[in-house]
Chains A and B, each alone.
Chain A
């Protein structure tokens, strides 16, 4: 495994090969520097809201009062340059402005930039080889004060790790839940296969 430097990243970005690194749009060349690429805060948000049901149920099979995960989030959109206020202890789902396509042998770690970590905003995400889409950002304000973020600002950075072997993102019977997303998507944890298996175990136990 090898950490790509800016020269290698730029070479791949300029390549016309279908299996190269693709990032669009890149507003400034300076976004690619050292061993990272700065990524910008996107314009669509899903804001966590409270509802009449006091919790989000992931294991829906045993739930007598089902409520979709999406109903716990409110969709809102801003334009580039607008502000977005992130309140303390609030979960907001967003994406990067940039649409990214990764080669089958490259994955990225997405981390908040130091300037934002110092404000109480922490991000840590891993994106699989072969991924397509705007990078999902799960925003959470750990500080005591609300933060007004600017849509389109360089909020996080990606470091590119090259693997020795290719890793097919689709195929091999692996279901992919967030492929080609261009806006934030709520958790699809309730669609995980193991949730169904666990529900069966729970039902069997309750029926003994």
Chain B
């Protein structure tokens, strides 16, 4: 049961941190997002956090509210618009990783009051990643342009991790865009490894393949973080 722990209490993160660490101040707004402890060592499932970040962005800049002002006929779909918008934000950073995550987590979910059907969410993500537009992407872009906010565009680079991961070695991440993009690359790689009949994957069971790919992603990201800290301290 310990593995399935989930605890979340809404709070003001900056206020709490300032209370416990004297002298700490922030010139940026902190965002509090959480996901089940079950995923703490499974970074490829952390793409859900990008979706939650999309909700924060929407709440802060009132994107969907402005959409409804601009297009009142969409009012019955207000909550669905929020989900579509957050999915697009997630896709702009993680590409098809959020698509594969949804397909894995809620493959056949029907439309309900709060969320659109999974198939519609997936179609929306596909449209965005393929550079197509639809009525939702169209209205989001109109609001964002009208408000002078940064455009929603692809903000990741998908690295080629095959040579490293096939040799069970972490990938050396070269940019912040690759930090996001490695999630997309890893989902794709995981699917390949699970079907592979080649060494080393043919000698490893499915559960272990899943663990190893997640661990290689985590170590690739951690190595970049600690190298940055070291370089900062020594430069």
Contact = CB atoms under 8 A, between A and B. Distances in A.
Interface of A: 18, 22, 24-25, 27, 43, 71, 79-81, 97, 99, 101, 132, 134, 152, 170-171, 179-183
Given A179-B208, A180-B168, A182-B219, A152 B41 contact: no
Contacts of B168: 101, 132, 179-180
B216 interface: yes
Interface residues of B, number: 25
Contacts of B169: 22, 24, 99, 101, 132
B219 A99 contact: yes
B170 A99 contact: yes
Contacts of B194: none
Given A24-B169, A25-B227, A79-B229, 15 more contacts: A24-B172, A24-B223, A25-B223, A27-B227, A27-B230, A80-B226, A97-B226, A99-B169, A99-B223, A152-B226, A170-B200, A170-B203, A180-B208, A180-B211, A183-B41
Contacts, number: 60
Which 9 pairs across A and B sit closest by C-beta, in order of nearness?
A: A132-B168, A180-B212, A170-B203, A182-B219, A182-B215, A27-B230, A80-B226, A18-B167, A171-B203
A24 B224 CA distance: 10
User: A25, A81, A181: which has the most chain B beta carbons within 10 Å?
Assistant: A25
A43 B229 CA distance: 14
A71 B208 CA distance: 21
Is chain A's interface secondary structure helix, strand, loop, or mixed overall?
A: loop
5 contacts: A79-B229, A99-B223, A101-B168, A180-B212, A183-B215
Nearest to A27: B230
Nearest to B171: A24
Nearest to B223: A25
A13 to B, nearest CB: 13
A180 B200 CA distance: 11
A71 B3 CA distance: 11
Contacts of B11: none
Contacts of A179: 168, 204, 208, 212
Given A18-B167, A179-B208, A180-B168, A25 B226 contact: yes
A1 B165 CA distance: 30
B203 A80 contact: no
A134 B172 CA distance: 15
Given A25-B223, A171-B199, A80 B212 contact: no
A80 B204 contact: no
B218 interface: yes
Contacts of A99: 169-170, 219, 223
Contacts of B222: 43, 182
Interface in B200-235: 200, 203-204, 208, 211-212, 215-216, 218-219, 222-223, 226-227, 229-230, 233
Interface string B96-128: 000000000000000000000000000000000
Nearest to A20: B167
Nearest to B211: A180
Interface string B41-59: 1000000000000000000
Contact of B216 (A25, A27, A170, A180): A180
A118 to B, nearest CB: 26
Contacts of B212: 179-180
A99 B221 CA distance: 12
A179 B199 CA distance: 14
B167 A182 contact: no
A134 to B, nearest CB: 7
A22 B219 CA distance: 14
Contact of B199 (A71, A80, A170, A183): A170
B28 to A, nearest CB: 20
Contacts of B211: 180
